[in-house]
Amino acid sequence: MEPSSKWKKLTARVGYSAKTVMYVMLGAFILTSVVNTLNREKASQSHVFITLKQQPLGQVFLAILVVGLACYAFWRWLQIVITEKSNDDNIFVHFINKLFFFISGAFYLVAAYAGGKTLLEVRSSESSQDNEKRISEFLMQYEWGLLLVAAIGLCIIIFAIVQFKHAFTSDFLDKFSMSSLSVFVKRCIKITGRLGYTARGLVYSLVGCFFVIAALLSNPSEAGGLQKALEILMEQPFGPYLIAGVGVGFIMFGLYCALEARYRKVDE
């Protein structure tokens, strides 16, 4: 194996391992929020970092997680370069895939930055839900702001649709060399992937709608993230069961990321 290939594999494995920690802890917070409403505020990225830091050797583990998230961001950007257009994709689809890699990398780099701030005890008085409102408020100051907020919402909704597509078609199995895996591992990949992508699709579709509604009503307070999505789900019939399902789904996606870290094809 060439040195460059070794580094590429290591970067991807560390990155997917970091996603495992993030989603399993988020899923656990979401599940506990079913029992205690106050715990719903903990269903955020920042509380994952804070909780991890409070554990024995927490600073070491948080530092490893931050490095892992940074590695995943780098891996997504690396995919922009190494991913070639397949015969089945047109130029537009190929461009969209590369744009997704860039946005995904930027998202996880911001997550690594937030984790680094927690590690260095740089505190912020704003919650994650306040961040979405602040972004909307900032953009709506400009004439084109409403359109941009709406565009962000539509992009998130499209991303949610892609998650549902993955769950329905199980096309994520193409990321693995299925012929070389045992029946048990194949089943684990398919179950965790389908449940995980479904949960992500549900949450992202709600978040996207929040941004679109904020643009239509010219009201930045309508924007929101995971916490607001959980609040909306709780208000529905069988709300606690829906939230529990999302929590389980996030944990399943975390386990799916662990399987990616171990078995995903990287060289191809």
Give residue 133's pLDDT.
58
Return the number of other C-beta atoms located less than 10 Å from residue 121's C-beta: 8
The helix/strand/coil state of 139 is: helix
What is the per-residue pLDDT for 1? 47
8 Å CB contact between 150 and 225 = no
CB within 8 A of 76, min separation 6: which ones? 101, 102, 104, 105, 108
Residue 153 near residue 93, CB atoms below 8 Å: no
- The pLDDT of residue 75: 87
pLDDT in tens, the chain (268 residues): 454 678 888 888 899 999 998 899 888 888 887 766 555 555 667 777 888 888 887 788 889 899 999 998 998 888 888 776 655 566 777 777 788 888 888 888 888 888 888 888 765 545 455 555 565 665 666 656 678 878 888 888 988 998 999 999 999 998 898 888 899 999 999 999 999 999 999 988 988 888 888 877 777 666 666 777 777 787 787 778 888 888 899 999 999 999 999 998 876 5
Q: What is the pLDDT of residue 104?
A: 84
pLDDT at residue number 248: 92
Output the pLDDT for position 125: 47
Q: Say how many C-beta atoms besides its own lie within 10 A of residue 101's C-beta.
A: 19
pLDDT confidence of residue 5: 73
Q: What angle do CA 186, 267, 184 make, to 5 degrees?
A: 10
Listed in sequence order, the residues at least 6 apart from 56 whose beta carbon sits closer than 8 Å to its beta carbon are: none
Residue 121: per-residue pLDDT = 79
Three-state SS for 162-201 is HHHHHHHHCHHHHHECHHHCCHHHHHHHHHHHHHHHHHHH
Structure tokens at 182: 């045992």
- Predicted TM-score (pTM) of the model is 0.81
Task: Give one word for 202, left, alpha or beta, with left for phi > 0 and alpha for psi -120 to 50.
Answer: alpha
